[in-house]
Structure 1
Amino acid sequence: MNISRLLPLLLLVPAITMADEDRNFKLNPSHFKVGNVLEHATDKAIALDSSVAISQEPVFPLHPNRLYLRHKKSAKEYLWFSGEAKPEEYKNLHAFNLKDNHLGAREVIGLRLYASRQYKAFQDEADIYFDAEYVYSPRVSKLLFMKNGKWQVLNESNHPGMVQIQSDEKHLDVLPLNSKMKPGTRALFPAEDGVYVFSFGTPDKLPYVDAGVLKPGNVLTFNVKFPSPDSVASGSSEATPVAVVESSSSSESVPAVVIAGSSSSSGIVIPSFDAGVSSSSAVPVSGGSSSSTSAPAKTSVTLDKVYALQTLEETETLYDVFSADVDKNVNRVDTMEFSKFYPAIKSADSLGLAESDKDYRNYVTHYNLKRKEAQTMWRNKKLGDVSNIYKAFHEKLDSLQALPAQINIKPVAIEKIVRTDTITVPVESTKKVTKGKAKKAAVDTTKKTVVVTKVDSLNLSFGADRGRVQVSWKGVVDGISMDSLVEMLAAGNSNLVTTLFLVNNKPVWVFKEGNLVGRYQYRYEKLGFRLGDSLYVGKGKFTLPRHIAMEKEVVEWLRKGLESSSSSAIVSSSSSAPVDTVKTAPGANIVEHATRGTVAIIDSGSFRFRGKVVSMSPFAIHTTEVTQEFFQKIMARLDSAKRYPDKSVFKGEKKPVQNITWDNAQYACKVLGGDLPTEAQWEFAGRAGSNDGVLWTADDVMSVGTYAVFAENSLKMGKGNDAYGPHDVATKSPNAWGLYDMSGNVAEWTRDNYFAITFSIEDSNPTGSYWGTSKVLKGGSWKDRAKELNMTVRDDEDPRYWSDFIGFRCVFPLERILQEKR
């Protein structure tokens, strides 16, 4: 035998041995022990309940703002724990970003991780930490793992930071204003460096907004201390507030604030006590004495009067009186006193930002809003019983607004939308016919075309300008003649009652420059027409005028109505309902090309290929293996002398071509204007973002047969069974990018040469070895066991060889598909 042919086989021996040992470098679920004790738990970077902790079962997905520890007690005993990260210990861990290393959390938890290539199986690191985005080592700055018989490297990343909130308040309300901290948590990690802004609140204390700067790899701590008249300026996360600061200019005024203690869903707003002061005004941090006093407020409204109210309109009228009384008492409160203890706004320089920076403008806007709210709360308390009356109004309005409502109202404008129908009707005429002496009558029938006009639908407008009801409705009414309905509406027929039905009697309060300009109904449900004892319900849509529809409260309610698909939709007169953008998985873009067949557009990206992260350019690939039917169409494009026959053993139009050599497979692809895929192209498309190389590990049932035709559902069925041999393509589930049978059915030729030793792999679009005479086969076939279907596994054959388990699919340059798509 030629030594050049023997050398690859000899070099292949250690590679095969290593591949067989690959399983020893992985963990399986039985290695994780539940209920075992971890001693010296306080020495870890994770905060556990006590010095002795009990191990848990790994559960996916990993939760954000949670740190997980995998502790090794022995070669086959691993313990799993979760808890909060200890800030100082956390920032000293070595971090490895999973996304940058093209690994998933579920996958890497089952890998043994090493500090050196010299280590053997079971000599992996004892403690490894995880979160949803990173792997951490407390000991080494370089981690390695074994996969597919190769050592692969985890590259260390810049350490993420942590943002934590410390407070003794049991009912602390934390609102992140520029981050994604989950409700109810007091830590955010891993966190990118930059400015973080939070709003803090708790019952019966003045809210405030604070900002801090997280530096790379550090921990930013917000020590929450609520401002009070008995304290100095507080609320800073790191440093004492600057001595004199003016808030940046803002283009928006703050006309109203939510009453202290009211629910966010009530929609009740109280005119700001200093509504005339723009939010761009300077915020004083110190001030002299004031000549005003804090005498009790005077108002003609009492709690008994509020409790005695019966209707929503009466309540609103009395509330307006009360609000005017309160405004008269505003100047009785010392406004400078508030600025002495409330924390001053931080300057842009102290945060390392410019005043025009988006993050700083966001901070300033929210600071001013929260400061006004806090000032209102403080003044309410200073005004004595006024706060209690506010709360009584809030409770009364909430109860009355929750009731459904019906408004009998006549439309102020009626617009008919008519439909014209052309019909043909017979017209009869009689004439005398004389024949000899006998006379008789004959009927002459002719046809006449008649145009009939009917009312198709209605546009009705309700309410006068600036009235409580302002809405229009367009639709039809079943069960009653539309023509008759229009006549009764136009004539003002007293027997016809038009009723607007509302979900509840809750209007929106509209303010302009701090003043209440109107209350408008907007929660319309349906329109009814009552005639005698009969009620006819219209089918159509309500439309609100723009000055009502643009209010935030209304916008949110309309959005909820669209999500619930209400039958009587309400829309704004200025815009249509938003259209959802449907996002698909990367590459899940299928094109049915007239001559090249059905292909999937594979976008550019990167993945871990044969132990190295490589980048890929976009391309197109057949969604199925080339079928016998499509193969005949390819050959039909050629002169008879250039064709070659389909030698498939298992016949069927939708079955893949078999018994085809590498040369003939590539020839067929080139006839189409494409080529066989490189191994990297084939694997990148087949894995579709998966790191495991198989599709079924993410399924709860882990069913190989869901995705693949393989030995268990084909070869082992026996030759007398219809399932024996390759099946029709696309009978199993596709991968996330729309490709079928990438595992099993028939193994597929690729363009690459096969050589046992890999000297180098290109960083971009790898093209295989320069050496070697065999060609790489991928995917396994109907004759293979499940473990041979992994898409990271490679097989090889002489390009002159053919078999009933070998087929192919083609790839194409992306521009060739897109430019010629038809």
Structure 2
Amino acid sequence: MTFSRLLPLLLLVPALTMADEDRNFKLSSENFKVGNALEHATNFAIVLDSSVAISQEPVFPLLPNRLYLRHKNSAKEYLWFSGEAKAEEYKKLHAYNLKENHLGAREVLGLRLYASRQYKAFQDEADIYFDTEYIYSPRVSKLLFMKNGKWEVLKESVHPGMVQILSDEKNLEIVSLSAKMKPGTRSLYPVNPGTYVFSFNAPDQLPYADIGNLQSGEVLTFNVKFPAPDTSVAVTVDSNAAASSSAVASSSSAAVLDSGAVSSSSADSSNSVIAIPDFDAPASSSSVVPVSNVAEAKTAPVVPSVTIEQVQALQTLEETEALYDAFSAEVDKNFKRVDTTEFSKFYPAIKPADSLGLADSGKVYRGYVAHYNLKRSEAQNLWRQKKLGVVSNLYKAFHAKLDSLQALPFQINMMPVAIEKIMKAPDTTIVIDSSKSPADTIMKIVESNKIDSLNLSFGAERERVEVSWKGVVESFPMDSLVTLLAEGNTSLVTTLFLVNNKPVWVFKEGDLVGRYQYRYEKLGFRMGDSLYFGKGEFKLPKHILVEKEVEEWLKRGPESSSSVAPSSSSAAPDTVKTEPVFNVVEHASRGTVALIDSGSFRYRGKVVSMSPFAIHTTEVTQEFFHKIMGLLDSTKRYPDKSAFKGPNKPVQNITWENAQYACKVLGGDLPTEAQWEFAGRAGSNDGYLWTSDDAMGVNKYAVFAGNSFKKGKKDADYGPHDVASKAPNAWGLYDMSGNVAEWTRDNYFAITFSIESSNPTGSFWGTSKVLKGGSWKDKEKKLNMTARDDEDPRYWSDGIGFRCVFTLDKIIQGK
């Protein structure tokens, strides 16, 4: 070898000797390039853009259910990507468990990994994959790295598995009973071998549950195919099922009034022919659908005898109730006649335990059975509702009509059925005959016979009106009044005045047994053009008083009474059941709150009762938020990330967890959806504080797209406004519609199985949280307080804020 050829080698020796050996085997943050393009990113185990993928900055901790790729572009340039794993490519990777190898993902990220000890610096693996528990190599089964000048070996582990869910349904809702699953994702990895149970829901589809076994290193795939009726089964129409118009609503029909969902029978019929009621057919007829028209007959909805137009045309509450009772009885009787043999033929059967290699008594299999039965019952209910077609819309129409008619003031002209005179105590008068001598004086004892008050009874036992009244009519001679009442004199008209036409519906063992008026306000007596009002009190019978709704109404305010002079105009009432006084309290540490009294309201189709509570009158402001954080040690605080700054503007960009944390610091919590809606509607049946024909009403009460978002970023009104810049509701609460949407405590789930009758707490299922009220970005229709939205609790935006609730003792007693 000539010197000229040897010279380069001689020059290389000092360079290698002087080099820091560790730099050849480790990566620094400078090696990772952000924003670089990776073209033709298709041959990877991770889903990247098919044309060009852009590298990111490595961020720790790694997110679960996510696969990361470290790609080597050159000796000093590495790129970092994240995305979904490709199932078939994922299971081909060689896996190395980090815990088994006593390494952390952050540590391994900076190591150069080699396939052999013979490899030199900068000849490490080009592609390495990461997740929260493993690193993966697509090429070799053994990986080495240099540590403290020695070669270390990564031991290959048993490959974890993957569970993937395939479906073309965009709005698929997945509930996993076996592992935590991030909303919106359709795969789980890395996961251990075992049994996995899921339920699947989607709009306009019948939900179902499925189970499968995952083998080590394999991919368990659930191909979601929602059950659909088999259109080849014959249908019999039974028209003898129509209920008479005098029928009273039964337990399941009453449940429909409350919840808007018809309850289903738990047992399937054993008949092979499907019976479906024909509400339009004559009562004595029945027919069998021809085979040629089977598909059409099976998909056609069942049409009840009542139409929405009929409901909307009703004028009085009594005729609405009568038609509702007939309709409910009709639905109740015919709904259960929708035979479920057809359902059993197309709905997937439960998978036997032995087919899965499981024991019937095993915990996992028993959980699957319970969930399967739940989903099956839910699907059967939905299927039956589709069979009944417009029934759901009819119930909504009845609800709207009942609410509107029950809200109206009401008067009943009715003579009492019983009159009791309550006399004054005897008043003895001595009369002396002066014509006689003192010895012969004759004393006459005269006892007065004056009426002290009257006790009048109205109506009959267990009828709509059943009430007594005790009092006086000071400007009308009592004896004359008694005479007129006793004679039934038609020149005297006796009128019961009610606050509104809202009776209480009383049920016994699930059956409606009667409706009774109870919101009596005053008693009037009209003679000609003069109207006399009594001064006294009403008394309800025990069977009405014990109803929860009545109890709550009577607690709403103190009684007051006053005498009335003859007049043709309105006068003071006998016993005034005043609206509750909702005090606003300025608490030293918990802020300004409104004290909300107990009551009941129609919540998501059901009348529910609410216990007292206190709620912030405004959304939590940035100034108050800083005070809350000031109550904590500096290590426990988190910053206000509001995009629109201002001390009186509401906090924005806050996650559900952080909002609840702030409320907990104050000794409260986020409101339940029911608490929020009860307080926001302030006794109204509507979800808006303004009427539909009041074009300016929304601007009076709400900050919304029309007066904020649509003005554009350069306008001063763009974004959320200072709290309380709009008018409050009747209970002193501001911005319940608009400004920022507000987190509530409740879980969100697309399907409601049941709503508690008292203080509802939301769904047991679901990972999202309910948002209420709409924001400054929303159109008017989204400001309805009965509407609901949902978001991942980790989500935040400049349109989301919060307010807190407290038990009354936290405010009144300062506990």
TM-score category by the smaller chain? 0.3 to 0.5
Structure 1-normalised TM-score? 0.44
Q: Provide TM-score, normalisation by structure 2.
A: 0.44
